[in-house]
Amino acid sequence: MKWSELCIHTTNEAIEPVSNILHEAGASGVVIEDPQDMVKERDSFFGEVYELNPADYPEDGVYVKAYLPVNSFLGETVDEIKHSINNLVVYDIDLGENNITISEVNEEEWATAWKKYYKPVKISEKITIIPTWEEYEPVSSDELIIELDPGMAFGTGTHPTTVLSIQAIEQYLEKGESVIDVGSGSGVLSIASALLGAETVHAYDLDDVAVKSTSINSKLNNVQHIVHSEQNDLLKGVEMEADVIVSNILAEIIVQFTDDAYRLLKPGGMFITSGIIQGKKDVVKERLQQSGFEIVEVNQMEDWIAIIAKKA
């Protein structure tokens, strides 16, 4: 089968919404080529260190690449993708160059093109994420392994926004507590919460592909008895209380449900928010404070911010 490679030259800020649009358009596997990846330290401890070719990377911004089967709908799908990406400016998202190029690749190239980017990655003190096709031997006995198939729904688990969320869950979640995950995507944060000792996790996503992925990935990681995945718009209509609410979503969306998060958290409960681009940190902080939260910690990785807030 022939595949088309769509390459979008965009900004770090736009990676998540653009990847989401590509997944929704049916792309199988999204690859991000960020020049920052070439300067990151790579620990050979976690498996084979792969070679990165500077010619594959832009000088500024990032390339987001997706693969679509070549069929008679391709032209329309590409037009829809372009239209949805251009629409992101309405949400004040900087699209940078916003150049889209299309090229053809064959099946074999495609299969290896995106899989080679996913290797076991140590995310936090305890958690390592491995792609489903990798063999991996835990390095220590208290290491927790999350197996993910990144091709299925948003989130390879290794994006800075996800890493910041998992690190905060590891720091603030106590064994036996209840968690709500808003915008669960692949389910990675729900699975991490379960492995770190949550008694129950309620995972919500608007996208039914994400709802299914959270269920499938929870089974794959043997936490299906803890993680309950449902379709829901943010926390609308949700009534159950929680000790921890975690959400890795854009700043523009977080500010829409801080009141609901405050309502559902138990006194002393923690709200872990991530997916906030640096420039929007203060807007989210102010909104959290208006809802009654005390800001406990603000963490940064690359251009991304996570804010941890407490219900007094």
Ligand X SMILES: C[S@@+](CC[C@H](N)C(=O)[O-])C[C@H]1O[C@@H](n2cnc3c(N)ncnc32)[C@H](O)[C@@H]1O
Binding site, annotated residues? 162, 183, 205, 248
Contact between 21 and 81 under an 8 Å Cβ cutoff? The reply is yes
Residue 187's closest CA among 165, 157, 225, 164? 157
Residue 201 as a binder of ligand X (CB under 6 A): the answer is: no
Residue 49 as a binder of ligand X (CB under 6 A): the answer is: no
Shortest distance (Å) from residue 30 CB to ligand X: 12
Which residue number, 210 or 309, has a Cβ lying nearer to ligand X?
210
Shortest distance (Å) from residue 157 CB to ligand X: 6
Residue 304 as a binder of ligand X (CB under 6 A): the answer is: no
Binders of ligand X among residues 173 to 192 (CB under 6 A) are 183-186, 188-189
Q: Which stretch binds ligand X (CB under 6 A): 92-100, 103-111, 127-135, 202-210?
A: 202-210
CA atoms of 101 and 231, how far apart (whole Å): 34
Q: Which of 105, 145, 220, 253 binds ligand X (CB under 6 A)?
A: 253
* CB neighbours of residue 231 within 10 Å: 12
Which residue number, 61 or 155, has a Cβ lying nearer to ligand X?
155
Residue 234 as a binder of ligand X (CB under 6 A): the answer is: yes
Residue 303 as a binder of ligand X (CB under 6 A): the answer is: no
Binding site for ligand X (CB under 6 A): 16, 154-155, 162, 165, 183-186, 188-189, 204-207, 210, 233-234, 248-249, 253, 275
